[in-house]
Amino acid sequence: MVDVKKRKRRLINFDEDAEFGNALETNEPASDVEIYAKEVLNTLIADNLPPTPNNFSLYFDRLLENKSENLRKQILSMLELEDNNDDENTIMLEQSLKQGFGSVKGILTVTASLFKNMSLMSKILEKRRNELLTNSDSQSAIRTAKALENDVLKLNEIIKKQSAQMKSHYEDTAGIFKKVEGETIFDNKYGVYNKRYLIEKISKEQKLIKEFKHNSSLIMLELSRDLIADVHSEKATILMTRTIARLLLKTSRRSDIVAHYGDGVFSMLLKHTDLENAIKTSDRLVDLVSSSNFFLADREIKLKVSIGITDVDTDSTSQEIIVSALNAIQKAYDIDDVDYAISLRSDEMKDL
């Protein structure tokens, strides 16, 4: 078992018969949400953390896990009415941009098809003109065909120029898209954040840890390799991996960062979460995944994941922290009947 240092935190005591009891005295009756907000603020102060909006949001989500189901539903319903944050707006912008790019590509495809059809029409007219030339008594018909041929040739030249212009616009758009794609934060395939965003957030969290001395953890997980080998279907593997991504989003807190690292490996950056609580999160993930069966034709498959856990320290690079969690995944494979393992850079691998 990993030795986890627990931080003492002074919590407000509540009456056993009520959600909040008389924890805080006010001149007027306060709503449950208002009392809960005051609890979050007091807990932040007790943990010696500045009550900044970011820290308040983190603790707001974290403490909510231990509240009654009614209170959670009440607060979550209120949060759904709030505007999306900047990251969500960015995601929507990226999705719109990619849809626009697809539309431009479609326009070029249609233009190319039109040009191809006009070329075919020119060949047909040439054939008909030759047929008319064989009939010397049809001079009027020949002149008409010649005039029509000239008109088609002119139209064909116009379409060529327009096609070249469309191609130029397409190449410009493609260049812009590639540039924007290098700055994206969202993985469209799985509906979560991408590797670039994950690394950026880990680096930012390291700076916060260095400043405020709190604990954060990183979880990396993947669909069990044994399960993938048993299924023998790339399409089914993709569908199962997408199911895992949806389950991660379902179980994550608003403050958690769920990202696709690559090749079907996902991550969860757990802010203000020590290893002990990261283990609890892993337990929940394992239970949630194992209870979510996948149907392939007439076969029912029990989903399974392998998880690696590590702490986020300030002495390592973001990539080293990620590699540490990936090493823990491998450790979980090396131990029989283990779904997750912990990796610490200070003393290498430790079993649960």
Q: Is 282:268 a contact under the CB 8 Å cutoff? A: no
pLDDT at 16 over 50: no
Amino acid, res. 204: K
- Residues in Cβ contact with 86 at an 8 Å cutoff, skipping those fewer than 6 apart: none
pLDDT reported for residue 155? 76
How far is 286 from 69, CA to CA, in rounded Å? 22
pLDDT reported for residue 247? 94
145: left (phi over 0), alpha (psi -120 to 50) or beta: alpha
DSSP 153-212: HHHHHHHHHHHHHHHHHHHHHHHHHHHHHTT--EETTTTEE-HHHHHHHHHHHHHHHHHH
pLDDT reported for residue 135? 65
Share of the chain above pLDDT 70, in %: 83
- Residues in Cβ contact with 332 at an 8 Å cutoff, skipping those fewer than 6 apart: 306, 307, 308, 338, 339, 340, 341
pLDDT reported for residue 352? 42
Q: Is 266:220 a contact under the CB 8 Å cutoff? A: yes
Could you report the per-residue pLDDT of 294-314, keeping only the tens digit for each? 888 778 888 999 999 999 999
The enclosing H or E element of 307 equals strand 305-311
How far, in whole angstroms, is CA 338 from its chain's centroid?
27
pLDDT at 8 over 70: no
Taking alpha carbons only, the member of 36, 10, 8, 9 closest to residue 21 is 36
Could you report the per-residue pLDDT of 180-210, keeping only the tens digit for each? 777 788 998 999 999 999 999 999 999 989 9
Could you report the per-residue pLDDT of 106-127, keeping only the tens digit for each? 777 777 877 777 787 778 778 7
What is the set of domains in the chain, with CATH numbers? 1-82 (no CATH), 87-181 (1.10.287), 191-350 (3.30.70.270)
What b/e sequence results for 56-86 when a residue is b if at least 16 CB atoms lie within 10 Å of its CB, and e otherwise? bbbbbbbebeebeeebeeebeeeeeeeeeee
Amino acid, res. 276: E
Could you report the per-residue pLDDT of 237-275, keeping only the tens digit for each? 999 999 999 999 988 988 899 999 999 999 999 999 999
Region 153-176 average pLDDT: 78
Interaxial angle between packed helices 86-133 and 139-181, expressed in degrees from 0 to 180 and rounded to the nearest 10: 160
pLDDT reported for residue 289? 94
- Considering the entire predicted model, what is its pTM? 0.67
User: How does strand 340-343 pair with strand 305-311?
Assistant: parallel
User: How does strand 299-302 pair with strand 340-343?
Assistant: unpaired
pLDDT reported for residue 342? 94
pLDDT reported for residue 61? 86
Region 321-336 average pLDDT: 94
pLDDT reported for residue 351? 43
pLDDT at 318 over 90: yes
Region 8-35 average pLDDT: 49
pLDDT reported for residue 308? 97
Could you report the per-residue pLDDT of 71-89, keeping only the tens digit for each? 888 887 777 655 445 666 6
What is the end-to-end Cα distance of the chain in Å, rounded?
Answer: 5
The CB density around residue 110, as the number of other CB atoms within 10 Å, is 11
Taking alpha carbons only, the member of 352, 335, 350, 325 closest to residue 222 is 325
pLDDT reported for residue 9? 35
- Mean of all residue pLDDT scores within the chain: 80
- Residues in Cβ contact with 91 at an 8 Å cutoff, skipping those fewer than 6 apart: 185, 186
pLDDT at 2 over 60: no
The three-point CA angle 278-283-286 to 5° equals 125
- Could you tell me which residue, 227 or 28, shows the higher pLDDT? 227
